[in-house]
Amino acid sequence: MKIAVIHGPNLRLLGRREPEVYGSATLEEIDDALLELGEELGAAVEIFQSNSEGQLLDHVEELMDRVDGIVINPAAYTHTSVALRDGLAAAGLPFVEVHLSNTSARERFRKHSYLAPMAVGTVQGFGKESYLLGLRGLIAHLKRP
């Protein structure tokens, strides 16, 4: 089983970026934990980060015939990107949307996600753990007969 993890814009700065909102874990720490959990659960995990909407779209297109599912934190593009929504719909891959913070408890503009209605599920509010729960959930979904 192959799973792609995608981090959207500004997530490279985790650890230094608003730690009171996003926690103290760095992106590298999150990635290490995802790779370790993937190994434990029998899935090959590959990881990509970009600040650029175009690069994220190109990457989703490239994953299309290559992986079984996606764990994505679309970051700010969650609330703005019809293009990312359409790209994921075109790829037709099952995906889980994750967020470090609980976007429902924050500013009004964060309450809407263009992607969530198409996701297998969403996990938010658990910091680094959101990614790990999302990966577990996606793998369980893919293993379901």
List the catalytic residue out of 7, 59, 77, 99. Answer: 99
Shortest distance, CB of residue 100 to ligand DQA, whole angstroms? 4
Shortest distance, CB of residue 27 to ligand DQA, whole angstroms? 11
Q: In this structure, are strands 121-124 and 95-99 parallel, antiparallel, or unpaired?
A: parallel
Q: Tell me whether residue 22 or residue 91 sits nearer to ligand DQA (CB atom).
A: 22
Query: Which of 61-69, 72-80, 87-95, 114-122 is the region at the interface with ligand DQA (rule: CB under 6 A)?
Result: 72-80
Element (H, E) at 47: strand 44-49
Residue in 34, 47, 38, 55 with CA at minimum distance from that of residue 5: 47
> Is 99 in the active site?
yes
Taking CB under 6 A as the criterion, the residue among 100, 115, 133, 135 binding ligand DQA is: 100
Task: Read off the amino acid at residue 93.
Answer: L
